[in-house]
Amino acid sequence: MTLIIVLIGAAGLIGLGLYGALSQQSFVMLMMGLELMLNGALLAIIGFWSQGLAGAPKGQLLAIIVMAVMAVEMAVGFALVVAVYRQRQADTTEGLGTLKS
C-alpha cells in the first residue's frame, strides 16, 4: 500500500468528519464527526510514519498521543453533553438558544 492511497483515505475520513460535524445538529453526531477527523489525522500520521520514517519510534509516540487526545476529547465531550441534557433537556444544537444559564 502506497503513501498516496493512505493519504487519500485519510483525506476521505477528514472530509466525512468535517461534513458530519458541520451538518448534524445532534451533539453525539457532532462528536462522531470530530472523531472521524481525528481518525483521519491519525491515519495520515501512521502513513507518514510507516513510509517516511521507516518505523522510527517517534511516529508511534505521536500516534499514541493522538489516540490519548481522542479519548480525552470523547470523555469531556460526553460529560458536557450529559450536563447540558440534565440542565436543559436538549440534545441538539437547535435546542439551545444560548450558552448562558
Compare 86 and 53 and report the one with higher pLDDT.
86
Q: What is the mean pLDDT of the chain?
A: 85
Tell me the percentage of the chain whose pLDDT exceeds 70.
Answer: 92
Averaged pLDDT, 53-59? 70
Q: 40: which 3 cell numbers?
A: 483521519
Distance CA 45, CA 59 (A): 7
pTM for this predicted structure: 0.75
Residues 6+ apart with CB under 8 A from 26: 91, 92, 93
Distance CA 72, CA 28 (A): 15
Confidence class for position 12, pLDDT limits 50, 70, 90: very high
Averaged pLDDT, 39-57? 82
Residue 45 lies in a domain: yes
Residue 71 lies in a domain: yes
Q: Residue 23 maps to which CATH number?
A: 1.10.287.3510
Domain range for residue 73? 3-91
Structural domain count of the chain: 1
Residue 99 lies in a domain: no
pLDDT at 100: 63
Residue 100 lies in a domain: no
Q: 76: which 3 cell numbers?
A: 469531556
Averaged pLDDT, 56-78? 83
